[in-house]
């Protein structure tokens, strides 16, 4: 029982907790950067049995950080124990891509994990739980998770495209030699893959105190419509080629940005990109997990409506949707053949 004036602890789950993204994620969560500096929490760390020893080391480090918000840490290889009473879930645990692979090459192995975890979340998590899927292929893993967790409202499922969103902001900022926080309202549409559509047609950049459309500030439509898009689409592969490991620090930071904004809200007149269960907006098949621009208020997101879709944009929106439809077919096949 919390003493008067203190909030009750929330239960926060991280899967793949012995892996590299989790190693960057845990401190930011424990330190109040996601759920607030006044929000105590109990961490539930799930990984596979051979990694339980590594989780013990992680717990020692959490203890040694000596953070008052942490009211308990559960380490487990058991999904029931992991998801019991969960308020917020970061699903990171999955096989990462190696050099030369596309993210959809991971599909068959990873969707089975999400079938099992969806079934467990359905039974054991709170019905209000907020779920962020990070493990790749993130959109389709999220679709499978939602499919096997029918009692959880559709709006409680999401997948990470905030890393792509942050990458897009960073590219624009670097080109204009301004701080990334001067850039607002970029959009990642569709899949967290090389077919995603990074779109800055409605984005602005603050130059000398004035919000200016990014297209007017950059004055190079050719770059914005070609190289910029392909740099963002291929950034994950470029990091793998350089590091021989996939992005981890930036993925953890983006995961925190995503969950913090979902929990605490976005700024007035600003949107962020989130993979969410489509309601049919922008001609996308209902039920697909598709990245959209969203506003968030009181813990609920709404898809930003009425943005312009010309022929050029329509083609890109459809191309990434087509890939998601193919992934959906493969994933449902892989999860029904067990």
Catalytic residues: 192
103 in contact with ligand AKG (CB under 6 A):
yes
Give the shortest CB-97-to-ligand NAI separation in angstroms. Answer: 5
Of 105 and 211, the one with the shorter C-beta distance to ligand NAI is 105
Give the shortest CB-291-to-ligand AKG separation in angstroms. Answer: 12
Q: Of 281-300, which residues contact ligand NAI (CB under 6 A)? A: none
Of 205 and 232, the one with the shorter C-beta distance to ligand NAI is 232
Question: Quick one: which of 282, 332, 329, 310 has its CA closest to 147?
Answer: 332
Q: Of 110-139, which residues contact ligand AKG (CB under 6 A)? A: 136
The span of 34-42, 92-100, 200-208, 304-312 binding ligand NAI (CB under 6 A) equals 92-100
Q: Report the residue from 129, 132, 187, 248 that binds ligand NAI according to the rule CB under 6 A.
A: 248
Question: Quick one: which of 50, 55, 53, 49 has its CA closest to 14?
Answer: 55
Q: Which residue is nearest to ligand AKG (CB)?
A: 236
> Is 208 marked as binding a ligand?
no
Strand-pairing partners, residue 290, are: 276
Question: Quick one: which of 204, 136, 145 has its CA closest to 176?
Answer: 204
Give the shortest CB-93-to-ligand NAI separation in angstroms. Answer: 3
236 in contact with ligand AKG (CB under 6 A):
yes
User: What b/e sequence results for 155-166 when a residue is b if at least 16 CB atoms lie within 10 Å of its CB, and e otherwise?
Assistant: ebbbbbbbbbbb
- Can you tell me the distance from the alpha carbon of 14 to that of 268, in angstroms, rounded to the nearest whole number? 30
246 in contact with ligand AKG (CB under 6 A):
yes
> Is 118 marked as binding a ligand?
no
Contact between 171 and 235 under an 8 Å Cβ cutoff? The reply is: no
> Is 175 marked as binding a ligand?
no
Contact between 144 and 111 under an 8 Å Cβ cutoff? The reply is: yes
Q: Of 125-144, which residues contact ligand NAI (CB under 6 A)? A: 134-136, 138
Question: Quick one: which of 59, 44, 9 has its CA closest to 125?
Answer: 44
- Can you tell me the distance from the alpha carbon of 55 to that of 153, in angstroms, rounded to the nearest whole number? 31
Binding site for NAD(+), residues? 47, 110, 134-136
């Amino acid at each position: 029982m919390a003493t008067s004036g203190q909030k009750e602890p929330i239960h926060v789950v991280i899967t793949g907790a012995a892996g590299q993204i989790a190693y960057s994620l845990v401190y930011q969560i424990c330190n109040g950067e996601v759920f607030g500096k006044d929000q105590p929490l109990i961490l539930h760390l799930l990984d596979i049995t051979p990694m339980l020893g590594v989780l013990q080391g992680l717990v020692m480090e959490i203890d040694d950080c000596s953070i008052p918000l942490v009211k308990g840490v559960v380490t487990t290889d058991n999904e029931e124990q992991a998801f019991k009473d969960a308020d917020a879930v970061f699903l990171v645990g999955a096989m990462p891509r190696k050099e030369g692979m596309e993210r959809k090459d991971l599909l068959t192995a990873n969707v089975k994990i999400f079938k099992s975890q969806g079934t467990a979340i359905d039974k054991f998590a709170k019905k209000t739980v907020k779920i962020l899927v990070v493990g790749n292929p993130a959109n389709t893993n999220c679709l499978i998770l939602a499919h096997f967790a029918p009692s959880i409202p559709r709006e409680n499922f999401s997948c990470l495209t905030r890393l792509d969103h942050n990458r897009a902001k960073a590219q624009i900022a670097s080109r204009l030699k301004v701080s990334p926080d001067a850039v607002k309202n970029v959009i990642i549409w569709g899949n967290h893959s090389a077919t995603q559509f990074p779109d800055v047609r409605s984005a602005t950049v603050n130059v000398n105190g004035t919000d200016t459309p990014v297209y007017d500030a950059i004055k190079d439509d050719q770059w914005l419509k070609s190289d910029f898009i392909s740099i963002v689409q291929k950034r994950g592969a470029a990091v793998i080629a350089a590091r021989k490991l996939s992005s981890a620090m930036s993925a953890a930071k983006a995961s925190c940005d995503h969950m913090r904004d979902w929990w605490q809200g976005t700024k007035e007149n600003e949107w962020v990109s989130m993979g969410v269960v489509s309601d049919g907006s922008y001609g996308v098949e209902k039920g697909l997990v598709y990245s959209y621009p969203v506003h968030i208020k009181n813990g609920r997101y709404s898809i930003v409506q009425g943005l312009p879709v010309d022929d050029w944009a329509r083609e890109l929106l459809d191309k990434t949707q087509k890939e998601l439809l193919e992934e959906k077919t493969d994933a449902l096949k892989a999860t029904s053949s067990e």
